[in-house]
Structure 1
Amino acid sequence: MSELLDATLRRFFAERRETHHHDADLWDALELATEGGKRFRPLLLLSVHEALGGTDVEVATKVAAAMELLHTAFVVHDDVIDGDRVRRGRPNVSGTFAARAAAAGADPGRAAGYGDAAGILAGDLALAGAVRLVAGCGAAPDVVTTLLDLLEHALKVSAAGELADVRLSLGTDGADLGTILTMEEHKTAVYSFELPMRAGAVLAGADAATCDRLGELGRLLGVAFQLRDDLDGVFGEEAVTGKSAISDLRAGKCTPLVAHARTTPWWPQIAPFIGDPALGEPEAARVRDLLDECGSRGFIEDLAAGYAEAARGVADAVGLAPDLQAWLAATAVRRAA
């Protein structure tokens, strides 16, 4: 399954490289951005497709590759939005091009601008590629139309969720836990879980009721996953998760962890550290201790477990095989970076 997926992505990039120096560099950086992760979104699509009796593996694999390109586009753009230059322990697209510009003698500001331009353009190429792969996957025309509708819906919802995430990080509206959970559902759950699960079901010829239940399952799993991701963003080990355990605090990310802490008597001690761009590891360690003491860490862990348990109930109702359920549960409670 993964071998065919890898081959499909390699062929996609090989067919699109141009001889012009900058074009080739951009495609090289974009292809590298698709490597190193567990590719659980395309594997989720393929697993659901197989579980529901789907037989056209080649068509499903093309759509699965589109899921990986969509994820790559969001990751590359997200790094630009967050000002990050590293992903999975190595320079990301923006970091790669910014470093090249700096090495060529550009001043830091212009080098950073060049890197961000490369990130935006590479993400655009990945988005266009995802749409192209779905449109040309070879499924029946009505199935392709449905898949494109699902993809467009995921794009619209995810864009709204990303913008809401940035807005909430401004710290101007004191959003409550429910608002933040909705943002996380929109930003992550819809494209990471609901979209690939629905797409796998559509490709397998599942009925509308099954597709809807799988969409519900995907949203529950996606929120559980994002809650665990938020915990990793503060308490995780970067060598294990691939995610910094200090950048979310420095950026002032308005996560459910922070929203809960805001309601506790410990908040006045925590607040000065949230959003401090100069936050160091000693201060971050103090914040972690306070988040433990005030009960926020335990609350979010329990909340993630509750979403995962609700997801298991839906999976049972749909009749998913136990081995697939076990894989889904593991995905929801561990970062898949």
Structure 2
Amino acid sequence: MSEGGRRAGDVSSEHGLLWEVLQEASQGGKRFRPRLLTDTHDALDGDQHQAAAQVGAAVELLHTALVVHDDVIDDDHVRRGRPNVSGTYRGLAEVSGADGATADGYGQAAAILAGDLALAGAVRAVATCGADTATTHRLLDLLDTALHVSAAGELADVRHGLGLATASLQESLRVAEQKTAAYSFSLPLQAGAVLAGADEDVVAELGEAGRRLGTAFQLVDDLVGVFGDVAASGKSSTGDLRTAKQTPLVVYARGTHDGQQIDHYLGRDLDACELAAARDLLTACGARDWVRNRARQELAAARAVTDPLGISLSGLGPLTGWDAALPQDDPGAVA
């Protein structure tokens, strides 16, 4: 968190507590976004190490903002095995005697405001990174694009979850691409290249590589969201099914004869037996294998760009949950 943000925490005790909870929400995780940015900058012989570190921190703060808001959208109150911002404030309200609905509203309000603070902090960190004016403007343009694309993907994801229309596989893949790729992969790859003074064609190629990486990441996240170990991933294994997300995993299943019954398990809480039945269905109809193989293809396409530039992606395997979601039948798939 920035020094300016810490000073802002002195506005009032209420705001100070909100800032502390936001700081807690920003802890943990693998920090692969700043690492990807600085690795790209260094691989392209950049010499703006301080600026790269600050912009990398900004991207991670942006991630915190979007995660906090995403939990509000999904009505989730736990993140990484502990209460998130909305869950923390909901608990505070309940302790004070608020009923369930009132406590939920308080938690959601706090999370929206905390996410707004994190988002403002991310923009400020980029704007004050110390790069020259033209480079800073280019970085802000990249940040702006990432925000617009991510917002479009998140809203499309919610719309598909309304159940008013069935998403096509292409539409579902597009959401997977937009929700994650723009800010988690394209942005750090391209920002690192811009800070290194790379040619625009290289910046554009890395944007495409980021799109591919983000799609692979989201596909694996979809697998972990149903098949993963909750203790290992910190992600609910029923949340995606409960919110009726039209992920590629679900959309593919609907298009098969054996997987059409998947709708029976969507839009409601599942007990352990029902979750096991849903997993069996998604496996038997081939949806799990299709998503796994498509993720591998996207990762290979990204590597065709990053490997010749010397940008290592070796740290992304365990991070994205490959170990939990994929059988160990291809040890070299994410090496």
**Same fold, TM-score > 0.5, yes or no:** yes
Identity rate of aligned residues, in percent?
A: 52
Match of 2:315 in 1: 327
Name the stretch that deviates more: 148-157 or 54-63. 54-63
* CA distance in structure 2 between the partners assigned to 1:60 and 1:30 by the alignment: 23
- Give 3-state SS (helix, strand or coil) of 2:185's partner: helix
Match of 2:112 in 1: 120
Match of 2:214 in 1: 222
Alignment of 1:213-292 (within 5 A): 213-275=205-267, 277-292=268-283
Name the stretch that deviates more: 144-153 or 239-248. 239-248
State the 1:84 CA deviation.
0.6
* CA distance in structure 2 between the partners assigned to 1:73 and 1:180 by the alignment: 24
Match of 2:333 in 1: none
* CA distance in structure 1 between the partners assigned to 2:191 and 2:323 by the alignment: 22
Residue 181 of structure 1 contacts residue 256 of structure 1 at CA under 8 Å; is this kept in 2?
Answer: yes
Name the stretch that deviates more: 261-270 or 101-110. 261-270
* CA distance in structure 1 between the partners assigned to 2:38 and 2:117 by the alignment: 24
* CA distance in structure 2 between the partners assigned to 1:297 and 1:151 by the alignment: 33
1:90 maps to which of 79, 82, 88? 82
Matched, 1:297 2:288: yes
State the 1:51 CA deviation.
1.0
Superposed CA deviations along residues 68-90 of structure 1, whole A, max 9, x for unmatched, are 11000000000001111110011
* CA distance in structure 1 between the partners assigned to 2:120 and 2:28 by the alignment: 22
Superposed CA deviations along residues 288-319 of structure 1, whole A, max 9, x for unmatched, are 01111111111111111111111121224x42
TM-score w.r.t. length of structure 1: 0.92
State the 1:268 CA deviation.
3.8
Q: Which ranges in structure 1 are unaligned for 5 or more consecutive residues? A: 1-8
State the 1:19 CA deviation.
5.1
Residue 234 of structure 1 contacts residue 288 of structure 1 at CA under 8 Å; is this kept in 2?
Answer: yes
1:54 maps to which of 26, 46, 49? 46
Q: 1:175 to 1:330 in 2, by over 3 A?
A: same
1:104 maps to which of 86, 93, 96? 96
Residue 153 of structure 2 contacts residue 175 of structure 2 at CA under 8 Å; is this kept in 1?
Answer: yes
Which amino acid in the other structure matches residue 68 of structure 1?
E
1:160 maps to which of 152, 169, 173? 152
Residue 5 of structure 2 contacts residue 121 of structure 2 at CA under 8 Å; is this kept in 1?
Answer: no
Superposed CA deviations along residues 55-114 of structure 1, whole A, max 9, x for unmatched, are 222111111111011000000000001111110011100011111011011111111101
Match of 2:184 in 1: 192
* CA distance in structure 2 between the partners assigned to 1:170 and 1:313 by the alignment: 37
- Give 3-state SS (helix, strand or coil) of 2:314's partner: helix
Instruction: Work out the number of aligned pairs and report it.
Output: 324
Which amino acid in the other structure matches residue 304 of structure 2?
G
TM-score w.r.t. length of structure 2: 0.93
Q: 1:332 to 1:93 in 2, by over 3 A?
A: closer
* CA distance in structure 1 between the partners assigned to 2:194 and 2:284 by the alignment: 46
State the 1:13 CA deviation.
4.6
Residue 175 of structure 1 contacts residue 259 of structure 1 at CA under 8 Å; is this kept in 2?
Answer: yes
CA RMSD of superposed structures (Å): 1.7
Matched, 1:36 2:28: yes
Q: Which ranges in structure 2 are unaligned for 5 or more consecutive residues? A: 325-335
Residue 304 of structure 1 contacts residue 333 of structure 1 at CA under 8 Å; is this kept in 2?
Answer: no
Residue 222 of structure 1 contacts residue 332 of structure 1 at CA under 8 Å; is this kept in 2?
Answer: no
State the 1:330 CA deviation.
5.8
Which amino acid in the other structure matches residue 85 of structure 1?
H
State the 1:14 CA deviation.
3.2
Residue 153 of structure 2 contacts residue 178 of structure 2 at CA under 8 Å; is this kept in 1?
Answer: yes
